[in-house]
Structure 1
């Protein structure tokens, strides 16, 4: 069965270009030209991925994403934005977008992100469907005050569950599973975002790390767990247990 991509964009020429290229890659497409219609299609048609513009008539992309996530829908949302302001990107990620791409973008890059996000969802669904293991503690990553239960897909700090988005959980799990190892933003894009051979805007990593620190660190301005190696990347600093 073909995967379906919902395009919510008010500029018809962009919709036509996106639809043409997605169909050529083997996807089915749904189109909406304003926020209200986009939210309705997203809830009724349950697409495999949503391409969501921020600046829309009737209802903004921010509002659509927020309302969609409030319905406990986990469909990947890739925001399209012509804005360069970091605050817009942070807000979009806070409201539940999986990633963003800034216009003008290359079609090759967009298609790669669509494929990676759909594949990531399929992997997560496959993992969730596996038989739970009974050997308690075998599927946990423990680094001092941080514990990650990979069966429950939940992170804990001081045994209290952390309110993480799926992306934040995956980022924490990846870094904590290899404490002390520095990963560049490009490497994290490949391993956590699943963007193979990624080149382009890697600021989404910085935004995700900042948000994760706000939830994990005692003082996000002086992190103890997720450290920066200037000019190199990020690493998880494991504490003594």
Structure 2
């Protein structure tokens, strides 16, 4: 039996990037705990598959598109969704590119998806966020430790983390809490979308595995548990934190 403080019965949650990986695991967990779940993403086929399999409401919305973001409030109204109790901003891309290979377009896209999109989505849905609700943003352990090929990605996630913290006093007057979760190396499809060659991805993964005190990758479900906790009544006095879900990877 789920504790009442962790129960989402009668509440509505919106999860961006909710058709795969951490987003899908979070959407499934929140639904299992009673929430009506709305998922967004830019792949209509994957959204439809997830919605049909798990009973979600699926709304196509590209996290980098301001017009899509602005239209989302109206799309929610069309679905008779009056308020969002738990907003989970998970959509993101993972570009791992060395200095000499970056283009201005790729740089701008990384920040548009990972930082600009969440900021303007909070702005667009401000009046639909329930008083006393929660916002949880998915950051990364790399926000605390960059690298040669991960510098831009780390920068997007550091920006996201600090923007979330900066919104705390703005949202507190309505009792809305905002926190971030920083996953470490997690076994999700994102590993195959870094843009790096397979042998490089394998080498990076091996190095992270050896550096982790638990000697394993985390799972999307483990991150989802942390997100659900921060979004729940059990975390009612937790506000403005960055929860590192990394198996101790950042421990020196």
Same fold (TM over 0.5): no
Instruction: State the TM-score, normalized to the length of structure 1.
Output: 0.41
Give the number of the structure whose alpha-carbon radius of gyration is greater. 1
Query: Which has the larger share of helix?
Result: 2
Higher RCO, 1 or 2 (CA under 8 Å, sep at least 6)? 2
